[in-house]
Chains A and B, each alone.
Chain A
Amino acid sequence: MRPAELNLVRYSVRLESETDFSGWRDAARRLALNEIKPEDISWHVAADSDRRPSDLPTVPAGAQLAVPRDFIARAETAFCHSDPSRFAFLYRLLWRLRSEPKLLAIASDPDTRRLEAMEKAVRRDSHKMHAFVRFRKIGEGNDERYVAWFEPDHFIVERNADFFVRRFTGMRWTILTPYASADWDGERLAIGPGAAKGDAPDQDDTEALWRTYFENIFNPARLKVKAMQKEMPKKYWRNLPEASLIPDLIAGADKAAKEMIARMPTTPAPHHAKVQAKHWPRREPTQSPNDDDAGSISELREAAKGCRRCPLWRDATQTVFGEGPDNAKVIFVGEQPGDQEDLAGKPFVGPAGKVFDAILDDAGVDRQKVYVTNAVKHFKFEPRGKRRIHSKPNAGEVQACRWWIDREFALIKPELAVALGATAALSLLGKAIPVTKMRGQVIEREDGLRVFITIHPSFILRIQEPAEKEAERERFLQDMREVKRLMAA
C-alpha cells in the first residue's frame, strides 16, 4: 500500500461482493451528497479485504442527487466488468455528472468512452456466454439434468441467468463458473458459489453427433481462419467440444479444396436417366403457343404470360392481363399494373382499383359486365428501399403492348372503349392527347371504335385536400354515368 493512500483516503467502502451494485449505489449516494471527492475514497470487496470499512456519512435532510436517467442502467452494466478500478471510476463519473449533466452524450470524452468500452465488453461477454455455454446431460428420466462449465471474463452470471431460464424453462440445469453458479430446478433460480471445472460432467454422447455436424458443415474451399477467430477467440476453445477438430480441419482444407477443384466431372449417377425420363419427359424447350393462334381471351391470356415484347418483364413478377367477360360491351383501359396488381396478377385490385370499383358501383355500372385491362401489361417501377415507385411507361413500351390490346379488342369487339388517363389514350388513339382538356369527349377511331376520354382514378387518390378530392371524385362519377349512358345507347 502506498503511503499517500494511507494518509489521504478518508473513506474506505466495503462492498458485499463483486456484483454488489446496490451497495455501491447506496454508498456512492451518501458520499456524493456529502461532497466527498473521488480521491478521498477507496473501494474494496469484502472477500479481498480485511481493511476496516469507514462509517459512511448519512444523507443530509432533503438532499437530492439527480443523475441522467440512463446512467444507473449503464453503470449497472459496467459494474459487471472485471476491472477492479471500476468502483472508483463509476464514482468519478457520478461526480462529474453533477456539473456536466450531458457528459454521457459526449462520445469523444475519455470517461464516456471508457464507460462505453466497459459496457461493450460486458455485453460481448454476455453474448458469448449465451453462445458458448455447452450443457452436458447427466441422469435419465426424472433425474435428467443439464450441467455446463463456463469461464466468463467478467461477473456476468447473475445478469444472464434469466436468459437461460427463459430459454430452458422445461429443463433442469446448472451453469458453473469460477466465481458463481446458477441453478434452475424447473421452478426456482438459485445463484450459488463458484465451482471448479472438475465439478461439471466431462462428456456427453451427443457431442459425437455435434462434432460430426461441425466437421461436415465446413466448406474447405472457403477457409477464413481469421474471420473465425475474431468471433470465436481461442480462449473459449478449451470448453467447446467441437473446437478440438479445428486444427485438423484447417490443416486439411487446402488439400480438400484442391481435390474438389481437381476432380474431373464423372458420368451421371445411374438413377439420373430414370429420374429425367420420369419427371422431365420433354427435354426440348416447349414452344410457347403461337401468339397469333389465340382464338379466345383465355388463350390470349395464356400466351401473354411469356411476353417478351419489351424489357419490362424482367423486373416485374408477372404479366397482368385484362379481366372480364369476353362479350363485354365496354373495355376500360388503364395505364399499367401497380404494386398490388403485380403481386396478384389481376388488374385494378390496388388502391386505385378500389376507388374505381366504388365509383362504378355508385354510377350503377356492373363491374362484372365490363372488361378492364391496361395499356401496358407489366409493372414498371424504380425500387426504393422496400417500396416500388411507379414509373410511367414510355411510348416504346406502350407501342409494344398495343399488340395485346389490339387482340383483346379484336376478340371482344366492344362498342365503347374508356381511356383512363393519358397513357391509355395514347395506346388507344396512337397519339398523345391532352386528357384534362378533352375529358368527357368521345373520339371515334378510323375503325369505328368510340373512345371515351377521362382521367385515371389514381389521380383522385393523389389529391390531399379533402374538398378538392371529393369534387374530383364527383366529376369522375359523372364521367362514369356518361359511360353508362353511352353503353345503353
Chain B
Amino acid sequence: MSALIVREKLAILSDAAKYDASCASSGSAKKDSLKSGGIGSTEGMGICHSYAPDGRCISLLKILLTNFCIYDCSYCINRSSSNVKRARFSIDEVVKLTMDFYRRNYIEGLFLSSGVIRSPDETMGEMVEVARRLRLEEKFSGYIHLKTIPESSAELVEKAGLYADRLSINVELPTDEGVKKLAPEKKPETIRLSMARLRQKMEEKAEPTLRTKKRERFAPGGQSTQMIVGADKTSDDGILHTSARLYGSYHLRRVYYSAFSPIPDSSSSLPLQKPPLMREHRLYQADWLMRFYGFSQPEILAGSSDGMLDLAIDPKLAWALRNRGQFPVDVNRADREALLRVPGLGTKVVAKILETRRHRRLRLEDVGRICQSIAKLRPFIIAEGWSPGTLTDKPGLRDKIVRSCEQLSLF
C-alpha cells in the first residue's frame, strides 16, 4: 500500500472525526515503558501536543477506522445518506500510524472511533484488534481510547477494557426523544444499558481477585460520553439534568458537550448556523460547578426564567447574582463550601486562602494578590478592612461586572 493512499485515507478519516469533542488523555493509571522496553507512558496528567486553530487541543490521533456507516443519524457527516467520500483503514495502517506519530512525540496515543459497517460486532472486533496489537505486539504503553459500539457484544467490550485506558459511548443527544428523532436507528435504551454494564464491569474488576489479590486492569481512565448541544431544543437545564444523571448513574469521568456544528451536505432538519460555542463553554463551566464546587444540578439554574445559562457571564456569577442573600462571604471565617461559591474563587485559590488565613488575617489586597483579579469578587466578600456595604444588592451590579470582565474574555 503506497504512502499516498494512506495519506488520502488519513485526510478523510480525520476529517470525519473532527466533530467529536472528546480528546482528553488524562485520568488513567500511571504506566511507562521502562520494564517492557517498549514505547509509551501515561502519567496521570494528559499532554496536549498541539492546538488546532479551533482552539481545541490535539492530544490523540483521533481517527475513524472507517466512515462507512449503516446508521443514518441526521447530525452526523458519516450517516449513510451523506455524500461524503468514504474510506477504510486496515488494522495494520492504524497501528503503524499510531506508532509512527507516537515515536515522534506528536501524540499521547490513539482515540479510535468508527462508523458501523455490516455489524456492530465486526466493527468492534476490529477496533479491539487494533488495541490488542498495539499493546501486545508493539509493547505500546501510551493512551488508548476506544469508542465502543453500543450494540456490540459484552465479551468484546470486556476485551476492549483490557487494552484501552478509557472507553466511551455517546449518548448523542440530551433526551431520548431527540435521539429518536435525529438518530432513528439508535436506541437510547441500549446506550444506557451499555453504560450500566461498563460501570458494573469496572466495579467488578476494581475488586482484588481472590487468588492473586491483584486488581485486574480494566479501562483505568473510566468511561466518558458526548452529547450534541443545539441540534434539538433541549434547554441548558435539561442538558445539565441529563449530565447529572449520567455522572450519578454510570460514574462517568467526563461528559463532553459538542456544539452542533453545521456539516457539509447537511440534513435539512437541522439548524444551519454557526455552532453555539459560547453556550458550549458555559455548559462546561456549569458541569465544573457540579463536579468540583459542590453545586447540585437543580440549583445551578433555579430561579432563572428560561432554564438557559447566561451567555455574558459565567454560571457561578449568575448564580451568585440570583442568590445575593448568601453574600457577602467573610474570607477570614467562611468554610470551604461557602468560599467555593464566591464568583472568581477557584478551588486552588480557596485552598490558598484557607492555608494563608491560619497564619494571618486577609485584607482585600491580600485576596487580590492570591487570585490576580478582584473585579468580580469585591461585591461578594468581606475581608479585613473591607465590606461591600450595599454594593452586593445594587440593581446594576450584573452590567457593571460584565463591563469590567469584557476585556478578559477569551472569545
Contact = CB atoms under 8 A, between A and B. Distances in A.
Interface in B37-94: 37-41, 43, 47-58, 61-63, 70, 72, 80-84
Interface residues of A, number: 91
Contacts of A386: 247-248, 251
A480 to B, nearest CB: 29
A16 to B, nearest CB: 29
Interface in A147-165: 148, 163, 165
A231 B57 contact: yes
Nearest to A388: B248
Contact of B83 (A225, A259, A269, A343): A269
A96 to B, nearest CB: 14
A105 B274 contact: no
Interface string B89-106: 000000001001101111
A206 B104 CA distance: 9
Contacts of A381: 248
Given A137-B104, A208-B7, A107 B55 contact: no
B67 to A, nearest CB: 12
Given A108-B362, A130-B47, A168-B39, A253 B53 contact: yes
Contacts of B18: 216-219
A226 B410 contact: yes
Contact of B266 (A134, A220, A265, A343): A265
Given A213-B10, A276-B80, A387-B248, A169 B32 contact: yes
B104 A210 contact: yes
B411 to A, nearest CB: 7
Contacts of A171: 39, 103
Contact of A169 (B38, B80, B273, B275): B38
A107 B356 contact: yes
Interface string B344-374: 0000000011011011101001110110000
Nearest to B141: A167
B304 interface: no
B262 interface: yes
A317 B193 contact: yes
Contact of B33 (A170, A214, A225): A170
Contact of B196 (A106, A228, A269, A342): A342
A261 interface: yes
A275 B56 contact: no
A261 to B, nearest CB: 5
Contacts of B106: 134, 210
B265 interface: yes
Nearest to B79: A272
Contact of A275 (B70, B104, B200): B70
Nearest to B49: A131
B80 A225 contact: no
B193 A232 contact: no
Contact of B370 (A105, A108, A167): A108
Contact of B39 (A102, A170, A384): A170
A384 B192 CA distance: 19
B83 A266 contact: yes
Interface string B169-203: 00000001000000001000100110111011000
A204 interface: yes
Contact of B410 (A102, A208, A230): A230
Given A135-B104, A218-B53, A224 B80 contact: no
Contacts of A132: 49-50
A257 interface: yes
Contact of B356 (A106, A224, A342, A344): A106
A261 B193 contact: no
Contacts of B200: 343-344
B139 interface: yes
A467 interface: no
A382 B298 CA distance: 10
Contacts of B101: 206, 209-210, 213
B144 interface: no
A146 B266 contact: no
B7 A212 contact: yes
A278 to B, nearest CB: 8
A251 B289 CA distance: 36
B192 A217 contact: no
Given A134-B104, A280-B185, A108 B54 contact: no
B272 interface: yes
A214 B272 CA distance: 25
A265 B103 contact: no
A240 B51 CA distance: 11
B337 to A, nearest CB: 13
A291 interface: no
Interface stretch (A29-37, A77-85, A242-250, A402-410): A242-250
A224 B53 contact: yes
A166 B34 contact: yes
A238 interface: no
Nearest to A208: B7
A222 B230 CA distance: 14
Contact of B104 (A130, A204, A268): A204
Contacts of B356: 105-108
A136 B104 contact: yes
A223 interface: yes
**Which of B18, B273, B297 lies at the interface centre, i.e. has the most chain A CB atoms within 10 A of its CB?**
B18
Given A166-B34, A170-B38, A272-B80, A221 B262 contact: yes
Interface in B245-301: 245, 247-249, 251, 259, 261-268, 272-275, 277, 290-291, 296-297
A385 B47 contact: no
A366 interface: no
B47 A131 contact: yes
B248 A383 contact: yes
A135 B6 CA distance: 21
Contact of B48 (A131, A168, A268): A131
B83 A133 contact: no
Contact of A317 (B249, B262, B366): B249
A438 B107 CA distance: 67
B157 interface: no
B62 A166 contact: no
B24 interface: no
Contact of B352 (A107, A165, A212, A383): A107
A209 B10 contact: yes
B78 to A, nearest CB: 11
Given A261-B274, A383-B248, A127 B47 contact: yes
16 contacts: A105-B355, A106-B360, A127-B47, A136-B104, A137-B103, A163-B41, A168-B33, A169-B39, A212-B14, A219-B261, A228-B51, A228-B52, A228-B55, A317-B192, A318-B196, A385-B248
Given A105-B355, A209-B6, A217-B18, 6 more contacts: A107-B369, A169-B34, A171-B39, A219-B19, A384-B248, A385-B291
Interface of B: 3, 6-7, 10-12, 14-15, 17-19, 32-34, 36-41, 43, 47-58, 61-63, 70, 72, 80-84, 97, 100-101, 103-106, 139, 176, 185, 189, 192-193, 195-197, 199-200, 244-245, 247-249, 251, 259, 261-268, 272-275, 277, 290-291, 296-297, 352-353, 355-356, 358-360, 362, 365-367, 369-370, 410-411
The 6 closest A-B pairs by CB, nearest first: A227-B55, A383-B248, A224-B55, A268-B81, A108-B366, A166-B32
